[in-house]
Amino acid sequence: MKELKITPIKEGTVIDHITAGNAVKVLHILKIPETTTSVVSVVINVASRIGKKDIVKIENRELDPKELNKIALIAPKATINIIRDFEVVKKSKVQLPREVFGILKCPNPTCISNAREPIESRFYVISDDPPRIRCYYCEREPEDVVDRII
């Protein structure tokens, strides 16, 4: 039980089955450590039945829908486990909606979504894994999706 090298958490979230090597990106979009003083444990390149994976365990934090969508772009196979009183009380796979709002920036400099307009960025999700997206405004398909996350 390699994973139990880490201290169990009482309340919080375990993000499991993160694409190996992407845990740091997940921490980055969750603004960790800047926005938390609780314990966060990270496991990178641990062996599992789906091959190597990363795991992020965050005490005293639940994720909002925008954060979940960002994780789905970084780690399409991730599982979100909600921990209460040391037990997994809820488990779900991340799932991208058909459109995502305000979590990506269009790389096209002349796209109207990059002008000073009262709108959020908006992208169609063309495929989940690997994630492919198309800008609702300029209709371009950025290739480096993860680097476009705000």
Partner 1 sequence: MDFLGRDVISIKELSKDEITSILSFAKKMVPYAKGEQQTTILQDKVLSVLFFEPSTRTRLSFESAMNRLGGRVIGFADPSGTSQKKGESLADTIRMADSYSDAIVLRHPQEGAARLSAEFATHPVINAGDGAGQHPTQTLLDLFTIKTEKKKIEGQNVVLLGDLKYGRTAHSLAYALAFFGANLTFVSPESLRMPKEVVSECKEFGVEPVNTSHLDKAIKEADVLYVTRIQKERFPDPEEYNKVMGSYRVTCELLKNGKEDLIVMHPLPRVTEIDPEVDATPHALYFKQAFNGVPVRMALLALIFGRKTL
- Residues near Zn ion (CB under 5 A): 106, 108, 111, 135, 137-138
Q: Are 73 and 131 in contact (CB under 8 A)?
A: yes
Cα torsion angle, 24, 31, 68, 81, sign:
positive
Interface stretch with partner 1, choices 48-56, 60-68, 83-91, 131-139 (CB under 8 A): 131-139
- Please tell me the distance from the alpha carbon of residue 15 to that of residue 34, in angstroms, as a whole number: 18
Choosing among ligand ATP, Zn ion, partner 1, none, which partner's interface includes residue 14 (Cβ < 5 to 8 Å by kind)?
ligand ATP
Instruction: Indicate the DSSP class of residue 46.
Output: E
Within residues 81-120, the interface with partner 1 by CB under 8 A covers: 108, 110-113, 115-119
The verdict on 126 binding partner 1 (CB under 8 A) reads: no
